[in-house]
Structure 1
Amino acid sequence: MELQAALAAHRLIAVVRGRDADAAMRTVLTLAEEGVELIEISLTGTDAVSVRARARAALGPARPLGAAAVLTADDAHAAQDAGADFLVTPALGEAVSAAWDLSLPVLAGVFTPTEIVAARSLGATALKVFPAAQAGGPAYLKALRGPFPYEPLVPVGGVDEDAARAYLAAGATAVGVGSPLVGDPADGVRLTALRDRARAFHAAVGEAVQ
């Protein structure tokens, strides 16, 4: 898939992790039904590889599905075997190089300008600024745009609706959202509230890019 183009087009990527694999699966399907086009399933969730494989079977080959919290080459291979279209790492490491070897796009975790340069040298497709809130929020991302005006930056970590608007206004290519969007459905409850939050985030992203 063309990850960088997809991030620029959709501006929102949902991060699903949970203690209940069946609930995580329902969460993925609900997000897809609500039009969230980019979804990543974290390896830190229960039985995450199986959830991704089941989601791929249910959603078909056209829906982009990512694997998050990918740390090792073994993680990368397992994610590809389970139908992942792209990988997401929390930091730089062997998973980024493995993604290159597997011809999988990778959203690589960075925190500093030095790490941005290193990530691009390793072949990262896009750059996950993480943890974004602790890095300095939208002001920090705007500052990064000075030396890196064209890099695809995706802040992740503590991004609620207001922050999503602010990050996109500051020059983010997209935002990655976990608990402020997903909440607790991936642990087993409240799919109705998830639908409401998905619609609210769609509205926030749409407002930010008008």
Structure 2
Amino acid sequence: MTDLLAVSPVVPVVVLDDEATAVDVAKALLAGGIGIVEVTLRTPAALESIRRIAAEVPDIVTGAGTVTAPEHAKAAAAAGASFLVTPGCTDQVLDACAETGLPLLPGAATVSEAMRLAERGFTALKFFPAEAAGGVAYLKSIAGPLPGLRFCPTGGITPASAPGYLALKNVGCVGGSWLTPADVVKAGDFDKIRDLAEAATKLR
């Protein structure tokens, strides 16, 4: 997972309502210089979207996000996901993710949660919901007591706030939904997505 945090300064967090747009969205992100995507399991189209991206856009690292149940982990792995992301963590979800053999970016919002995940061997975590849970100031304050952990903060982050996170030593990348706005995806404006992706690569 530590290597995955270095793929791009921004990991697009993508919600897809129509699997027919999945490949074009992924190609647009890749054309803009983003080599990784997290497709959230929030819609009926998510698994098929992952399947299509993994098969047709092999140069982008495709992950499944919003893994909140054991069955999500198994289904995402079967669809071809290369990594898994959880917003939080329970023992059942962590165990199911481990059974897939895929890299996992588990979510934590508190010091206790981060320490618990560190006890299980995780050194790269998702900090969610980033802005609501304390943002840049929070992550900066826990860098001292938790020096071995690095984070991908996600939740409420914008192009304006992203550089503040990326400047922190314990942040490898940020997760952002602004690269694939719902209205832009629905309109099929993939050039816009490419432009947003290209701008995101310059935020660090």
In the superposition, the TM-score normalised over structure 1's length comes to: 0.88
Show the counterpart of 2:19.
Answer: 21
Q: How does 1:72-111 map to 2 (within 5 A)?
A: 72-93=69-90, 94-111=92-109
The alpha carbon displacement at 1:25 in A equals 3.5
Report if aligned partners of 1:17, 1:186 keep a CA contact under 8 Å in 2. no
Give the alignment's Cα RMSD to 1 decimal: 1.7
Show the counterpart of 1:66.
Answer: 63
Report if aligned partners of 2:11, 2:175 keep a CA contact under 8 Å in 1. yes
The alpha carbon displacement at 1:89 in A equals 0.4
Q: How does 1:32-71 map to 2 (within 5 A)?
A: 32-60=30-58, 63-71=60-68
Show the counterpart of 2:168.
Answer: 170
CA pair 9-17 structure 1, distance change in 2 beyond 3 A:
closer
Say yes or no: does 1:6 pair with 2:16. no
CA pair 146-38 structure 1, distance change in 2 beyond 3 A:
same
Alpha-carbon deviations, 1:140-167, whole Å to 9, x = none? 1111212112212110011112211100
| CA distance in structure 1 between the aligned counterparts of 2:11 and 2:2, rounded to whole angstroms | 12
Say yes or no: does 1:144 pair with 2:152. no
In the superposition, the TM-score normalised over structure 2's length comes to: 0.91
Count residues in correspondence: 201
- Secondary structure, counterpart of 1:87 in structure 2: strand
CA pair 9-51 structure 1, distance change in 2 beyond 3 A:
closer
| Letter matched to residue 147 of structure 2 | P
Contiguous gaps of at least 5 residues in structure 2: none
The alpha carbon displacement at 1:9 in A equals 4.5
Alpha-carbon deviations, 1:68-111, whole Å to 9, x = none? 01111211111111111110001102222212222211111110
Report if aligned partners of 1:100, 1:123 keep a CA contact under 8 Å in 2. no
Report if aligned partners of 1:87, 1:106 keep a CA contact under 8 Å in 2. yes
| CA distance in structure 1 between the aligned counterparts of 2:113 and 2:15, rounded to whole angstroms | 26
Contiguous gaps of at least 5 residues in structure 1: 206-210
- Secondary structure, counterpart of 1:162 in structure 2: coil
The alpha carbon displacement at 1:117 in A equals 1.1
State the 4+ residue runs in structure 1 displaced beyond 4 angstroms.
none
| CA distance in structure 2 between the aligned counterparts of 1:142 and 1:125, rounded to whole angstroms | 16
Show the counterpart of 2:199.
Answer: 200
| CA distance in structure 1 between the aligned counterparts of 2:96 and 2:9, rounded to whole angstroms | 26
Say yes or no: does 1:113 pair with 2:124. no
- Could you tell me the percent identity over the aligned residues? 33
The alpha carbon displacement at 1:190 in A equals 2.4
